[in-house]
Amino acid sequence: MEYVIIGFLWLSILLYLVLGGADFGAGIIELFTSKAHRYRTRKTAYEAIGPIWEANHMWLIIAVVILFVGFPVIYSTMSIYLHIPLVAMLLGITARGTAFVFRNYDAVIDNMQRVYNRIFLLSSFITPLFLGMIAGSVISGRIDPSETDFTSAYIWPWLNWFSLTIGLFTVGLCGFLASVYLIGEAKPGDDRNSFIRKAKQWNVVAVVCGALVFIASLTENIPLMSWVFGNPFGATAVIAASFSLVVLWILVKRGKTVVPRVLAGFQASMILLAVSYVHFPNFVILKNGEHLSLFEHQAPEATMTALAWALIIGSLFILPSLFYLYYSFQKDRHEGSFVEH
């Protein structure tokens, strides 16, 4: 049963990274778009994520629930030592969610829109940054439960070059995912070409940030190179991701829009897979080479069984209706009858 639960946990994190990431990315792209083009960018992004954005945070909540029900020690350790970045990420989520609603549902359109926008764009950047930093801290082996000094216990585990570069890489990845997704949402012609340009730029940003992560891992003495390339599995994942990136650009050139999205999602999942595979079954790496393993720190069997069934039954309800939602609105928009509410 624990494999079912770990599978769901991994999937929730991946879906949050890909779907939530594309959602954050829409805000990030807009943040780095010149003022003149912002309005067009926003309009395209909104039509794409409007009905669906609410559902994306659920993946994060499901991951959190799986952690505290199934792996309570891991959850409480992260909660204690990564308190500050978790709060920062939460503030980002809150600010972003509310600003989105406000800019959509304010009955009066006036200067307040600029305030909502600023909050939305800034929090779109901050949330994935801290999400990445948390992920970086979890695998960097800086968390030390025996530490009593405030800064060493609660600051340095997450405030270091390695975590920071992973945070930036996550931001770059979100921008890339969103721009690839939006290529298909934009109308063919100028609009679409501008998104293709954006996707290229974000692709470069993501690769540069990825290189920074490797540089940071050298300065922080984290054996990232050997983690990724030291085993056939990780190396294969990276090569597959790189190869699919080439295919993606060939297809974009030929005017395809759907398959590139799948490929961009595939690249994100390969990155996550390479990193999680090398550490499996360890979820958190502590200082002094200790680990919090998903096998050793799981809840008692009765809980795991109940949780697994809850997840299986839940997904039977959720996945079909979620697909139907995506399908309905895709179909609707491509028939041209979609109107912003």
Partner 1 sequence: MDNFLAARSQMALSLGFHIIYACIGMVMPFFMAVAHYRWLKTKDVAHKNIAKAWSKGVAIFFAIGAVSGTMLSFELGLLWPNFMKHAGPIFGMPFSLEGTAFFIEAIALGFFLYGWERLNPYFHWFTGVVVGVSGLASGILVVSANSWMNSPAGFDYVNGQYLNIDPMKAMFNEAWFSEALHMTIAAFASTGFAVAGVHALMIVRKQNVHFHQQAFKIAAGFAAVAALLQPLAGDIAAKSVAKRQPAKLAAMEAYFHTQPYSPLVLGGIPDVKTKEVNYGLEVPGLLSFLVYDDFKTPVKALDQIPVENQPPIAITHYSFQVMVGLGMFMMLVAVLYLVAIWFKKHWIYSNWLLKLFIIAVPTGFIAVEAGWMVTEIGRQPWIIQGVMRTKDAVTPMPGIAWSFYLFTGIYFTLSIAVIFLLYRQIRMVPELYDKPAEDLNLSHS
> Could you list the residues that contact partner 1 (CB under 8 A)?
46, 50-52, 54-55, 57-58, 60-62, 64-66, 68-70, 72-73, 75-80, 83, 86-87, 90-91, 93-94, 97-98, 100-109, 150, 153-154, 299-300, 302-303, 306-307, 310-311, 313-314, 317-318, 321-322, 325, 328-329, 332, 337, 339-341
Q: How far is the CB of 330 from partner 1 (least distance, A)?
A: 12
Q: How far is the CB of 277 from partner 1 (least distance, A)?
A: 26
Q: How far is CA 180 from CA 25, 54, 161, 272, in A?
A: 10, 21, 28, 19
Structure token pair of residue 3: 């494999």
With tokens 């340009």, the residue in question is: 197
Q: How far is the CB of 225 from partner 1 (least distance, A)?
A: 33
Helix, strand, or coil (residue 286): strand
Would you say 145 or 255 has its CB closer to partner 1?
145
Q: How far is the CB of 96 from partner 1 (least distance, A)?
A: 8
Strand duo 282-285 + 291-293: pairing: antiparallel
Spell out a b/e string for 14-33, using b for 16 or more CB atoms within 10 Å of the CB, else e.
Answer: bbbbbbbbbbbbbbbbbbeb
Q: How far is the CB of 61 from partner 1 (least distance, A)?
A: 6
Residue from 14, 12, 18, 56 nearest 174 by CA: 18
| End-to-end Cα, the chain, rounded Å | 44
Chain centre to alpha carbon of residue 134: 12
Would you say 93 or 294 has its CB closer to partner 1?
93
d(CA 7, CA 199): 31
Q: How far is the CB of 336 from partner 1 (least distance, A)?
A: 12
Would you say 90 or 211 has its CB closer to partner 1?
90
Q: How far is the CB of 113 from partner 1 (least distance, A)?
A: 9
Would you say 20 or 25 has its CB closer to partner 1?
20
Would you say 93 or 271 has its CB closer to partner 1?
93
With tokens 């998104």, the residue in question is: 195
Would you say 127 or 217 has its CB closer to partner 1?
127
Residues with Cβ within 8 Å of 160's Cβ and at least 6 positions away in sequence, in order, are: 140, 142, 220
Q: How far is the CB of 57 from partner 1 (least distance, A)?
A: 6
Angle at 220 between CA 215 and CA 221, to 5 degrees: 95
d(CA 122, CA 145): 33
Helix (H) or strand (E) holding 293: strand 291-293
Would you say 258 or 325 has its CB closer to partner 1?
325
- Other Cβ atoms within 10 Å of 316 Cβ, number: 10
Would you say 81 or 125 has its CB closer to partner 1?
81
